[in-house]
Amino acid sequence: MPPRPSPPPRLATATARDVAEAAGVSMSAVSRTFTVGASVSAKTRQRVTEVADRLGYRPNHLARSLMTGRTKLIGLVSNHFGNPTFMEVFDLFTRELQARGLRPLLANLGEDDDGQAAIDMVRQYNVDAVLIATSAPPAGFAASCRQAGLPVVHVFGRPGRSSPVPVVTVDNVAGGRLVAEAMRKRGLRRLAFLGGSVHDASTVDRGTGFAAAAGRSLRHTVHAGNYTHEHGQRAMHALLDSDAAIDGVFCADDVLALGAIDACRERGLAVPDDISIVGFDDMPLAAWASYGLTTVRQPIRPMVLHAIERIVAWMDDADAVPRSKLFPCELVLRRSLRER
């Protein structure tokens, strides 16, 4: 039997000491070169990076975390991983965190989870902070993260005295008002609100604003239970079964609205000639020619950037606890809302 070939020799990994010796600088200079925001001269930085590239050196973040007590891990927690709008949110969060030398640790709360698994994960991995990106986290989840001594910012939450952590969100109540005012201005008088979960803060607030401005024109409020196309389609069919004379529906989410439009098509109803449909979020699919969805745009990028900037500042200074911030929204008119 022929002898088994020997495995190729492992290449020695260059260390920070190797780089320091080859570049003629101190170990401290090497460390500062690869630490975001650290003070190091341009000449030293260039010299160290050139030598590091030549030697194939990469900083060992695990070893550094053991020395500094900082992992640079940020827990990014949500339960909307199937929603196209939140795919944009996660893309922004991960890219912007990585650009700052931070690493996102994704935790999926699930639909019926009490959040304990996610709390255990952020503790086990010793994250430096937590960003909650959902309008409906489990009760007490934010408070539990905060009690663990972590900086926590809740994006898409509900600001107010009842919130245990700072909130960064859009003015959902104002968005609901915008839709009702636009519908009534166009002569629509038999209105309905189609929301997600009855426990979802954004659904509740958008519905509250819509009801306040719609007044007696609001005939029905229904909750699909989840922000999916299937739930929106099913809820729209049920709504039309209960009242075929509805002429305007505000959906608390674009995905629900697209499901509602498809339900109308299945029943032979023209949008907007027979019934107007308006959504919320302004995800890219809303502008597709096949839908042309009128919707409320929330400034996702400014909200994400603000949340990251505030939590980074809080990580650097325990006294820099941010205030909650409410962002404005705007109505984006397309063809799913009749003109007059």
Max CA separation in the chain (angstroms):
90
Which domains, ranges and CATH numbers included, belong to the chain? 16-59 (1.10.260.40), 73-170+300-327 (3.40.50.2300), 172-298 (3.40.50.2300)
| CA–CA dist 286, 269 (Å, integer) | 19
Distances (CA, A) of 288 to 18, 84, 168: 55, 14, 29
149 vs 152: CA distance, rounded Å: 9
Residues 244 and 215: beta-carbon distance below 8 Å: no
- The confidence score (pLDDT) of residue 11 equals 45
Q: Report residue 202: phi and psi, to 5°.
A: -70, -40
- Residue 50 confidence (pLDDT): 86
Ramachandran bin of 310, using left for φ above 0, alpha for ψ from -120 to 50, beta for the remaining angles: alpha
* Residue whose tokens read 């994960």: 121
pLDDT the model gives residue 69: 54
Kindly give the parts of the chain with pLDDT less than 50: 8-11, 66-68
- Residue-level pLDDT at 113: 64
Amino acid found at 191 = L
pLDDT at position 60 is 57
What are the pLDDT digits (tens) for 71-93? 889 999 988 777 788 888 999 99
The pLDDT tens digits of the residues spanning 155-179 come to 999 888 788 899 999 999 999 999 9
- Secondary structure tally for the chain: helices H, strands E: 12, 12
Contact indicator for 328, 177 with CB cutoff of 8 Å: no
pLDDT at 266: 97
